[in-house]
Amino acid sequence: MSFIYLLIFVLILFSTLYEMYGNQEVSKPWYYTIVTIMILTAGLAWGISPDWISYWNTFEGAAIVSFGALSDLSEKLDMEVGYLYINKIISSIGLGYGSFVLILAIVSIYLKTSTIFKYSGYVFLGLLMYMVSIYFYEDQIQVRQGLANAITIFSVRYIIDRKLYPFLICMVLAFLMHKSSIVFVFAYWIVLIKFNRNWVIITISLAIIASLTGVSLLIDGLLQLLPFGIGDKYDAYNTQGLQSAESSLLGVIVKVLTVLAVVLFDKQASENDVYYPYFRNLYIFGVAMYFFFGGGIFALRLPNFYLIFIAFMVPRMIFALKENAALKNFIYITFLAYNMALFVHVNNNTKDKAGFSYYRTIFDDRATYSFFLD
């Protein structure tokens, strides 16, 4: 892992320890200083991810066609038209792919991290969990889904405040960035489910049974018939070989541990924190989807719109249990250790595939694009 990623990880790690045991109010300027470093690191990177050349070529292609031709280009590239419109708008004012990557990083990372600050309780723990499980993959590799996910995460405020129309506007914007985000439309009503430990056990158990007995295979045929190109998107994902932290053995282990924590401590957490039940419902729904589809790329891509809320649910659980020092410390240290192990996994799993071990910026002499069009 390159120095810049190690630096970000260490800064967040020490910040979460200070937040938990320093008995000091969280410093908002320091939080956003780290976020700014994360944005600049992702936004100024060059040659990160196996897909950067195809995304660059997409930007160049959108730059030379008219706005009216973007629909045809979208169909040809199997890429959402909303994402292509952003490419076209930025290129039409003379900015290059370097500017596009930076703007995308600013919007995507800010929407996620500002929501983490607003709702996660222990904000640096939430930021750490976001960094090791989402930041590398969504904000530097799978950037279209990362932008769509940022919008759905931002929309949580409208779910909590029960503002349907702003939520639906967010869903339309997210869908225009990545069609798979349509799965998050159910979140508006999922948060209303009166879950308890028994329902959590039943839900997850039924999902696992459906996967083991082959019932979930029946869904495959239905998914391929979905309209608006969603079925085609499923077919494409089902043939990809990408693996992220969520689909690793560590990812499976943390899902089991998190569900166990919910089963054991849900009643106390629900009684002591008003936000915890919202994020519990969203995360548990994601876990159920993951096990229902039995692993693989599809079991990651759709559930990931819900699984990200582990960065909210776990800090809120710890926040709700803060009066019980022993219990709070046990849960905190357990998930801190997991995130440290996951960071090591990300390093080992991506160092030869994504460029995180040899970080380069757009200022490198070998960079093939710049902030402005030639």
Question: What span, in angstroms and rounded, lies between the C-alpha atoms of 189 and 302?
Answer: 17
pLDDT at 216: 57
Residue indicated by tokens 């869903």 = 171
The number of beta carbons lying within 10 Å of the beta carbon of residue 89 is 14
Please say whether the beta carbons of 197 and 262 come within 8 A.
yes
Terminal C-alpha separation, the chain: 33
pLDDT at 317: 96
- pLDDT-flagged residues of the chain (< 50): 231, 234-235, 237-242
Query: Would you state the structure tokens that stand for residue 359, as one six-digit string?
Result: 């970080």
pLDDT at 198: 85
User: By three-state DSSP, how is residue 361 classified?
Assistant: strand
pLDDT at 68: 93
| Domain ranges for the chain | 3-350
Please say whether the beta carbons of 362 and 47 come within 8 A.
no
The number of beta carbons lying within 10 Å of the beta carbon of residue 295 is 15
pLDDT at 242: 43
**Residue among 327, 214, 228, 210 at smallest CA distance from 272:** 327
* Alpha-carbon 10 to chain mean position: 21
Dihedral sign of CA atoms 22, 26, 30, 34 in order: positive
Its pTM stands at 0.91
CA angle 75, 174, 208 (to 5 degrees): 95
Residue indicated by tokens 């969280």 = 26
pLDDT at 51: 81
Please say whether the beta carbons of 191 and 283 come within 8 A.
no
pLDDT at 218: 57
pLDDT at 52: 87
pLDDT at 238: 46
Rounded to the nearest 10 degrees, how much is the dihedral formed by the CA atoms of 267, 269, 274, 276? -110
pLDDT at 223: 56
